Structures are given as structure tokens and as C-alpha cells.
């Protein structure tokens, strides 16, 4: 038996090629093999020496004894692994990892020569740095060098000795005539199997393509794909219908199917990722175009504006159902005072930006009204407006409300998890009302959202990017809260990018009359307000601002039984706290109320005693004259005898 010695560079290659040679000539020749990187400590003598690659030829010569016949093997990629490479998505960036630059570039060359150029190869060898995210790596056995971040590693193993070298070996061993046929059959059998598999894949792809075509044909939009020269590669049924075209369109040019030359210019123009409106057969259509660089293809979608309006309406209906809409616009903000007009003007300007806003103002001054108007005037108006009030929400709930949770995040968590308000508000505005009441823990989380523009659900590990404008409001002095360490300073400045301070009603008394008439008219009534009542209401301090005014209108309208609101229609508690009643009269009224509430008569004597007890210096005469005054004003009724005084409202 003739002796064949194989010399390979690495142990890995030695083992693979040894196995391959055994398969072909193991029955007719004695095969021994050596790997240089394992060390060779003897002179090799054989009838034939096969060296695995010319890269190690010089090295290998040192171990060869005398004048042996040497063949330097030509090697080829193992065909059986090609199949796996075909499954890498088209255009994907792929690391080609090998032990040195030469072998790496050589390997890329073979793969390209084999027609595997549907991916973009990035050479990688020891000393290289990975500077971008890559999902696939191909390596001929150098798995340890592949960077850890790469998820899919395809080890194509060492290249095998190609059929031409096998023929040379057979000739050297005088086995060619007998064995060649059998060996080529073995070799081609593998290739035929590969071809079969590729045919199978391509059949599946055709099926998948037909399926996708059915989906695209069923879509409401028109879809067109064409190359840089305008040659049509795909058109769906809907677009054919819109154009009134049938028959063969594929392979034609966009110029032939559209009569609107502006549209043709737009389609074949270089601009990508853009939208415009064109008229097709009398119908307004929004055309959106984008460029698929790797495919050298433009995709254009055609959507009728009627469909878009319908879609918008449907979207709005859904937002209304969920309550995620803004009720007010700037027209709903009543008042012509300079202070309010100025604030409205600033707010209008702010609504044209997409910046975070902080609205400060006492309770009832219209903070939610302004937030709502800003949203409705902004670019986000057709998207959700979601409000959350921190004063009425326990901390534990606030977090899950805002960020949502994954299934099983805590006991009681809903199956399938739940979207939080930030996710619900995506594309729109979130209104964080009474932000001063948010806990420090929540403040930290909100700060992260403002900084990173992303959230993570409770119990989740996925980062969800969000596109939400934030409007925060407070009736507290946030600056003071910051100084007391109750509010994060960094969050304060992140929120106060834009700032609106709403003036309290007492600082814009000019608005009171208009507001009163507005709220009365809103009830569908035409009641007048008596001058003295209007004076009284105008001089009142309005601690509850417009909300209080609105409530008082409700009250007055309900109790008024004439055509005019008069003093008796004012709520009593308001009069007590009102500032138009003289202080001495207020004291007397308060005492009468206390006595009446206890079921006691409010006689002058009793009133005098209480005054004395409280160190109020009223004589009986003084009390009598004030009671008379109050009776004339309609506050009370003085009864004769022991009946005492009774409050009548
Ligand atoms: N300028 C205004 N014109 C018309 N209505 C107003 C005006 N200001 C406030 N309102 C009405 O007053 C009520 C209270 O307003 P809103 O809820 O916006 O106040 P707020 O400042 O957010 O109050 P809070 O701090 O208590 O939450 C609402 O019914 C609102 O419609």
C-alpha cells in the first residue's frame, strides 16, 4: 500500500482533511497526517505528501525528508454548508471571521465567487474592533474569535480538498483509472443533493412570494415597485383599479401608466422617504415614496385622501371612547383682561413648538383648559391627549398607570399585561396634573422618561421608545418644593422648558362678568344679573377661581325663580366668606348661624353674651341696629316676642 502524508497548518484542518482523504482513498492507501501548530518532531517520508495550502508550503518543507512528491491541495468551501448561508437575509451585514487578514479576505473572495454575494461581508480577524451591530458571523472554524455580541454564528468548517486535487492524488497513486468514476460519483452526489435543497428553498420562496402578493393585492392602498429607471417591478390590484388599467404592466415604465406628468416626475425623481398629494382620475391621492437601497428599488404607496379622512374619523372615535382626547380649544378660554389675553398669546406660541411645558396656577384657574388647548393647537392634535392627576392617585397605582406592566408582574396583574398611559399617549400629549404631588420615586422615573424618551413596563425587560409631548401642571410653588427637597431640581428644570403662569381670577376681575354670562348662556338661559349682585361678585376674592365661579352660577341659576339673579340667589356660605359684607355684620350673622344650628333662639341677649364672652365690644343697641340692617338686606327675619332672630338664607 502506498503511503500518503498530509501536512496541515492547524489541528482542526488536519482532522477534517484526514477524514476527507480517508473517505476517498482510505481503502487503497495508508494515510498519516500532521499539523504544524501542534509541532512536528520528525522528518516525514511518504510516496506522496499533500500540503493543505500554499500558505504553509515553506514551513512544511522543513519537515519533509528527501525527494518526496508533493501536491499542494486546492481547496474549496464545503458545499454542504452553503445551504445555511443562503438563509441569511439579503443585504444583511455579515462578519467573516478568520485567524489573519490574508485568510479572511481569501475566504470572502471564495464566497463571492460561489455567488454568495447577497450579503455584505465585513472582514474580522484578531485585532479588529466591532464598530456596529452585526447579527451574523461566518467562520471557517474560528468560532472563538467571533465577538460575543454576534448572535448567529455559522461555522463553515475548514475548506475541503477539491475534486481536481483528488484526481491528481489518484493519478500519483496509480488509482485514477480504477477509482475515478466511483469518486466523482460520490462527489457529485453531494452537489446534486445541494441543488435539490436549493430548488426546494426556491419553491418555498415562490410560494411565500405568491402569498405576499395576495396580501398586497388585498390591501386598500395602491402599491408600486420600480427601479431607478422607472421600470415597473410590481403593481398590486388596487393600484391597477385606481388607474383603470389591466393586462401586462410589469416590465413597463411608470411614464406609461401615469398621465399626470408631475406625478411621474415625482416618482422617478431622486427624493426618497417623502409624501405628496396628486390627482389620479379626479381623485386626490397621497403618494408616499421610499428607496430600498439594497434592492435598487423605489416603493410607492397610493392612498386616497377619502380613506385617510375616514381613518382619522375612526381613530378619533376610538380616542373619544377611551376618553383620551382634549376637550378644549383656545376659543373656550373666556376673558378679555390684559393678563389673560397675554397668557393666551404665549400659550398659542408654545403650542407651535413640541417642547415640554409647565403650567403653574392656583386651583381652578384653568390649567387643564390651557393644556388641552395647547394640544389641540399643536401638530399632535389628531393623536391622544391623556391626563393623569397625581393628587388623586396612590403612589403604587401611579407607576403602573403611567408605565403599564407585563403579565405576572405582580399579583392581580391582568393577563397579557397592560399598556401604561405613556404608551397610550404615543404620538400625542400626556398631561401630568398636580405634578407637585408625585412621589420622589416617581419623579425619578419621570425624569428618565424625559431624558431617554423611552419607558419599560413594570416586570418587563423591553425598552419601549415613546414619542409623547409632556405638559405638567401644579397649583403648588414647585420652586419652594425644590428648596424643601420635596421636588427634584433636575426634573423641575426639565419640565420648565416652557412656562405659563395663570393669573388668579382676583387679579383679572374684568373677566368675571364675561365668565358669568358665558356660564349662564352655556345653560341655555338668558338670565340677567342685578347690578348690586354683579358688584358683589366682582369684588369677591374667588379663592376657588373660575371653578368656584362656575359652581356659583350653577347654584344661582337653580335657586333663581325670576328673570334676574338677585342677592337672595347668592349662596350663604359665600356671603360669610365674602369680603363685601362689613366685618361687624359678618360677626353677628355667624353668631346667629351658630345658635340656629344648635336649635336655639338667637335673641339679642344671647348674641350680646356670646359677643362679651369673645371679647367683642357690642352694646345691645349696636346689635339691634345691625340686626335691622341685616333684615333689610334680606339675610334674616326678626321675630316678635321670644321667637328671636332666624336666618332665612
Ligand atoms: N378662562 C376660562 N374660560 C372658561 N372656562 C374656564 C376658564 N378657566 C377655567 N375654566 C373652567 O373652570 C373649571 C376649572 O378649570 P381647570 O380644571 O382647567 O382648572 P385647573 O387649574 O386645572 O384646576 P385644578 O388645579 O383644581 O386641577 C373648568 O370647568 C374650566 O372649564
Ligand 1 atom closest to residue 389's alpha carbon, by position in its atom list: 27
The contacts of residue 188 (CB under 8 Å, 6+ apart) are none
Give me ligand 1 centre to Cα 202, in Å: 66
Question: Does residue 196 lie within any of the structural domains?
Answer: no
CA 597/CA 587 separation, integer angstroms: 15
Ligand 1 atom closest to residue 369's alpha carbon, by position in its atom list: 18
| 478 and 350 belong to one structural domain | yes
The last residue of a domain, from among 431, 465, 494:
494
CB atoms within 10 A of CB 480: 11
Q: What is the mean pLDDT of the chain?
A: 86
| 602 and 564 belong to one structural domain | no
| 342 and 482 belong to one structural domain | yes
Question: Does residue 56 lie within any of the structural domains?
Answer: yes
108 contacts 119 by C-beta, under 8 angstroms: no
Ligand 1 atom closest to residue 361's alpha carbon, by position in its atom list: 21
Give me ligand 1 centre to Cα 356, in Å: 20
Torsion angle (degrees, nearest 10) of CA 422, 424, 427, 432 = -40
The contacts of residue 359 (CB under 8 Å, 6+ apart) are 367, 370, 371, 471, 472, 473, 474, 499, 500, 501, 502
- Closest residue to atom 31 of ligand 1, CA basis: 369
- CATH assignment at residue 14: 3.40.50
Give me ligand 1 centre to Cα 435, in Å: 17
Q: Which three cell numbers stand for residue 386?
A: 391623556
CA 258/CA 252 separation, integer angstroms: 11
**Residue from 329, 500, 546 whose mutation best tests the ligand 1 pocket (most atoms within 8 A of CB):** 546
- CATH assignment at residue 416: 3.40.50.300
The last residue of a domain, from among 494, 524, 541:
494
Give me ligand 1 centre to Cα 58, in Å: 90
- Closest residue to atom 12 of ligand 1, CA basis: 547
Beta carbon of 364 within 6 Å of any ligand 1 atom:
yes
- Closest residue to atom 15 of ligand 1, CA basis: 366
Query: pLDDT value at position 92?
Result: 86
| 443 and 395 belong to one structural domain | yes
Give me ligand 1 centre to Cα 550, in Å: 9
- Closest residue to atom 13 of ligand 1, CA basis: 547
The last residue of a domain, from among 449, 466, 494:
494
CA 403/CA 395 separation, integer angstroms: 13
Give helix 79-86 / helix 176-218 axis angle, nearest 10°: 10
Question: Does residue 313 lie within any of the structural domains?
Answer: no
137, β-bridge pairs: 95, 153
Beta carbon of 508 within 6 Å of any ligand 1 atom:
no
Q: Which three cell numbers stand for residue 316?
A: 378619533
Ligand 1 atom closest to residue 474's alpha carbon, by position in its atom list: 25
| 332 and 413 belong to one structural domain | yes
Report residues of the chain scoring pLDDT below 50: 649
478 contacts 499 by C-beta, under 8 angstroms: no
CA dist 134 → 104, 114, 117, 131, 461 (Å) = 17, 22, 17, 9, 21
Task: Note the Cα 364 to chain centre separation in Å.
Answer: 33
- CATH assignment at residue 298: 3.30.450.20
Beta carbon of 367 within 6 Å of any ligand 1 atom:
yes
Give me ligand 1 centre to Cα 516, in Å: 14
- Closest residue to atom 18 of ligand 1, CA basis: 366
CA 73/CA 327 separation, integer angstroms: 80
Question: Does residue 92 lie within any of the structural domains?
Answer: yes
Question: Does residue 23 lie within any of the structural domains?
Answer: yes
Report the chain's terminal Cα–Cα distance, integer Å: 127
Question: Domain span at residue 516?
Answer: 506-575
| 405 and 277 belong to one structural domain | no
Query: pLDDT value at position 581?
Result: 66
Beta carbon of 334 within 6 Å of any ligand 1 atom:
yes
Give me ligand 1 centre to Cα 549, in Å: 10
| 327 and 411 belong to one structural domain | yes
Beta carbon of 503 within 6 Å of any ligand 1 atom:
no
Ligand 1 atom closest to residue 550's alpha carbon, by position in its atom list: 12
Give me ligand 1 centre to Cα 395, in Å: 25
Stretch (H or E) spanning 548: helix 545-559
The sign of the dihedral angle between the CA atoms of 189, 194, 200, 203 is negative
Which three-class secondary structure state does DSSP give residue 575? helix
CA 173/CA 458 separation, integer angstroms: 72
| 346 and 460 belong to one structural domain | yes
Question: Does residue 556 lie within any of the structural domains?
Answer: yes
| 364 and 463 belong to one structural domain | yes
**Residue from 343, 365, 375, 549 whose mutation best tests the ligand 1 pocket (most atoms within 8 A of CB):** 365
- CATH assignment at residue 619: 1.10.10.10
Ligand 1 atom closest to residue 335's alpha carbon, by position in its atom list: 1
| 355 and 225 belong to one structural domain | no
464 contacts 455 by C-beta, under 8 angstroms: yes
Exposure string over 416-429, b if 16+ CB within 10 A, otherwise e = ebbebbbbbbbebb
| 410 and 530 belong to one structural domain | no
Q: What's the domain count of the chain?
A: 6
Beta carbon of 504 within 6 Å of any ligand 1 atom:
no
**Residue from 332, 344, 359, 368 whose mutation best tests the ligand 1 pocket (most atoms within 8 A of CB):** 368
> How many helices (H) and strands (E) would you count in the chain?
24, 28
Question: Does residue 240 lie within any of the structural domains?
Answer: yes
Beta carbon of 343 within 6 Å of any ligand 1 atom:
no
Question: Does residue 213 lie within any of the structural domains?
Answer: no
CA angle 201–204–206, rounded 5-degree value = 110
| 301 and 389 belong to one structural domain | no
564, β-bridge pairs: 528
487 contacts 439 by C-beta, under 8 angstroms: no
Give me ligand 1 centre to Cα 362, in Å: 10
Task: Note the Cα 68 to chain centre separation in Å.
Answer: 70
Amino acid at each position: 500500500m502506498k503511503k500518503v502524508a498530509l501536512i496541515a497548518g492547524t489541528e482542526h484542518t488536519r482532522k477534517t482533511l484526514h477524514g476527507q482523504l480517508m473517505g476517498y482513498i482510505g481503502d487503497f492507501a495508508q494515510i498519516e497526517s500532521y499539523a504544524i501548530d501542534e509541532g512536528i518532531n520528525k522528518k516525514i517520508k511518504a510516496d506522496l505528501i499533500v500540503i493543505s495550502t500554499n500558505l504553509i508550503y515553506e514551513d512544511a518543507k522543513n519537515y519533509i525528508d528527501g525527494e518526496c512528491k508533493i501536491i499542494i491541495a486546492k481547496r474549496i468551501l464545503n458545499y454542504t454548508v452553503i445551504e445555511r448561508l443562503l438563509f441569511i437575509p439579503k443585504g444583511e451585514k455579515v462578519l467573516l471571521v478568520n485567524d489573519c487578514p490574508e485568510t479572511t479576505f481569501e475566504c470572502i473572495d471564495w464566497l463571492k465567487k460561489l455567488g454568495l454575494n447577497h450579503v455584505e461581508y465585513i472582514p474580522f480577524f484578531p485585532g479588529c474592533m466591532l464598530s456596529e451591530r452585526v447579527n451574523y458571523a461566518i467562520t471557517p472554524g474560528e468560532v472563538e474569535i467571533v465577538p460575543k455580541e454576534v448572535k448567529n454564528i455559522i461555522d463553515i468548517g475548514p475548506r475541503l480538498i477539491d475534486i481536481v486535487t483528488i484526481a491528481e492524488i489518484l493519478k500519483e497513486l496509480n488509482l485514477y483509472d480504477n477509482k475515478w468514476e466511483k469518486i466523482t460519483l460520490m462527489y457529485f452526489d453531494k452537489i446534486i443533493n445541494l441543488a435539490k435543497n436549493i430548488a426546494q428553498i426556491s419553491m418555498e420562496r415562490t410560494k411565500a412570494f405568491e402569498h405576499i402578493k395576495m396580501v398586497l393585492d388585498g390591501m386598500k392602498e395602491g402599491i408600486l415597485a420600480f427601479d431607478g429607471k422607472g421600470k415597473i417591478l410590481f403593481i398590486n390590484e388596487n393600484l391597477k383599479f385606481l388607474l383603470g388599467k389591466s393586462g401586462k404592466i410589469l416590465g413597463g415604465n411608470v411614464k406609461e401608466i401615469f398621465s399626470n406628468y408631475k406625478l411621474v416626475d415625482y416618482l422617478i425623481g431622486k427624493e426618497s422617504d417623502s409624501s405628496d398629494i396628486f390627482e389620479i382620475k379626479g381623485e386626490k391621492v397621497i403618494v408616499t415614496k421610499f428607496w430600498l437601497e439594497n434592492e435598487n428599488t423605489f416603493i410607492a404607496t397610493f392612498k386616497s385622501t377619502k380613506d385617510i379622512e375616514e381613518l382619522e374619523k375612526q381613530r378619533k372615535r376610538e380616542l373619544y371612547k377611551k376618553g383620551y382626547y382634549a376637550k378644549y380649544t383656545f376659543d373656550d378660554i373666556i376673558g378679555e383682561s390684559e393678563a389673560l389675553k397675554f397668557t393666551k398669546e404665549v400659550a398659542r406660541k408654545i403650542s407651535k413648538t413640541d417642547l415640554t411645558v409647565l403650567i403653574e396656577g392656583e386651583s381652578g384657574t384653568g390649567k387643564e383648559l390651557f393644556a388641552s388647548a395647547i394640544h389641540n393647537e399643536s401638530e399632535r392634535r389628531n393623536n391622544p391627549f391623556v391626563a393623569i392627576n397625581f393628587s388623586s392617585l396612590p403612589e403604587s397605582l401611579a407607576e403602573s398607570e403611567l408605565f403599564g406592566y407585563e403579565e405576572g408582574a405582580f399579583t392581580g396583574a391582568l393577563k397579557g399585561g397592560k399598556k401604561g398611559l405613556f404608551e397610550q399617549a404615543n404620538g400625542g400629549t400626556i398631561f401630568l396634573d398636580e405634578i407637585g404631588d408625585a412621589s420622589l420615586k416617581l419623579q425619578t422615573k419621570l425624569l428618565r422618561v424625559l431624558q431617554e424618551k423611552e419607558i419599560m413596563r413594570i416586570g418587563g425587560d423591553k425598552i419601549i421608545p415613546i414619542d409623547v409631548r409632556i405638559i405638567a401642571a401644579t397649583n403648588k410653588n414647585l420652586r419652594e418644593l425644590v428648596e424643601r427637597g420635596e421636588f427634584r431640581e433636575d426634573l423641575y428644570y426639565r419640565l420648565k422648558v416652557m412656562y405659563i403662569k395663570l393669573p388668579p381670577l382676583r387679579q383679572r376681575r374684568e373677566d368675571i362678568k364675561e365668565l358669568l354670562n358665558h356660564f349662564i348662556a352655556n345653560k341655555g338661559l338668558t338670565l340677567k344679573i342685578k347690578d348690586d349682585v354683579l358688584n358683589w361678585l366682582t369684588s369677591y376674592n374667588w379663592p376657588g377661581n373660575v371653578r368656584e365661579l362656575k359652581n356659583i352660577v350653577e347654584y344661582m341659576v337653580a335657586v333663581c325663580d325670576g328673570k334676574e339673579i338677585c342677592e337672595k340667589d347668592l349662596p350663604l356660605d359665600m356671603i360669610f366668606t365674602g369680603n363685601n359684607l362689613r366685618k361687624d355684620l359678618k360677626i353677628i350673622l355667624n353668631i346667629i348661624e351658630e345658635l340656629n344650628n344648635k336649635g336655639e333662639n338667637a335673641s339679642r341677649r344671647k348674641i350680646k353674651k356670646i359677643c362679651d364672652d369673645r371679647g367683642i365690644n357690642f352694646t345691645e343697641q349696636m346689635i339691634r341696629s345691625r340686626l335691622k340692617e341685616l333684615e333689610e338686606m334680606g339675610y334674616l327675619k326678626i321675630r316678635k316676642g321670644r321667637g328671636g332672630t332666624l336666618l332665612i338664607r
